C-alpha cells in the first residue's frame, strides 16, 4: 500500500473538515428556514444562557473560513516544514555527511549510515585502494561515497529520489 505523506494527510483532513462544516451550516440554514428544532451547537451547549460566549465559541471553533485558509496555505506550499538546501554531489565532506539526517544521507549515498560503515569495513584493507603511484587517491570513505552515489544514479548522475 502506498504511504500517504504528511502533507497529503493534512490536505485530506482539512478538506473533510471543510466539507463537514459546510454540511453543518447548510443543515442549520434549512432547520432555521423550516422552523425545525435543530441540534444545538457546541457553543450553545457550553454556554446556553450567554449569546456572546456562544458567538465567540462559534467564531473560534466552528469557522469554516479558518479551515479554508489553512487548506489554501497547505496547498500553496510544497513542504510543511523547512528544508535544508540540497547538497551538490562534489560536496562529500564525510564529517558533514554523517551529520546529515538519515533521509538526506540515504539520498546522498543511496544507503543507510550503518550500511555505509559495513561496506567500508569490508573494503577498507583491500589492496586496490593502496597505490604506489605519485598521484594520491582520495580517502577510501570518500571513494566509497562517490561510487555509491554514482551507482545509485544508474551511472548517469540523474537522481530519482
Q: What does the pLDDT read at residue 145?
A: 87
- Tell me, yes or no, whether 85 lies in a domain: no
In this structure, the dihedral spanned by the alpha carbons of residues 134, 139, 140 and 142, taken in order and rounded to 10 degrees, is: -130
> Could you give the number of structural domains in the chain?
2
Residue 33 in this model has a pLDDT that exceeds 50: yes
**Does any domain span residue 101?**
yes
In whole angstroms, give the CA distance from residue 121 to residue 128. Answer: 14
Same domain, 102 and 148: yes
Shared domain for 56 and 113, answered yes or no, is no
On whether residue 84 sits in a domain, the answer given is no
Domain extent, residue 105, equals 94-152
pLDDT at 89: 47
Q: Examine the domain organization and report whether 59 and 23 are in the same domain.
A: yes
**pLDDT tens digit sequence for 41-82:** 777 787 888 878 877 777 666 667 778 888 899 999 988 888
pTM: predicted TM-score of the whole model, two decimal places: 0.41
Amino acid at each position: 500500500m502506498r504511504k500517504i505523506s504528511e502533507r497529503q494527510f493534512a490536505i485530506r483532513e482539512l478538506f473533510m473538515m471543510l466539507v463537514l462544516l459546510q454540511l453543518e451550516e447548510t443543515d442549520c440554514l434549512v432547520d432555521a428556514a423550516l422552523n425545525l428544532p435543530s441540534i444545538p451547537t457546541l457553543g450553545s451547549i457550553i454556554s446556553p444562557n450567554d449569546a456572546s460566549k456562544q458567538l465567540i465559541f462559534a467564531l473560534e471553533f466552528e469557522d469554516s473560513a479558518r479551515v479554508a485558509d489553512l487548506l489554501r496555505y497547505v496547498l500553496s506550499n510544497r513542504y510543511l516544514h523547512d528544508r535544508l538546501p540540497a547538497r551538490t554531489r562534489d560536496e562529500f565532506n564525510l564529517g558533514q555527511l554523517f551529520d546529515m539526517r538519515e533521509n538526506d544521507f540515504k539520498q546522498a549515498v543511496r544507503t543507510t549510515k550503518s550500511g555505509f560503515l559495513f561496506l567500508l569495513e569490508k573494503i577498507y584493507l583491500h589492496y586496490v585502494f593502496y597505490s604506489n603511484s605519485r598521484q594520491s587517491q582520495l580517502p577510501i570513505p570518500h571513494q566509497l561515497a562517490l561510487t555509491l552515489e554514482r551507482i545509485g544514479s544508474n551511472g548517469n548522475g540523474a537522481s530519482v529520489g
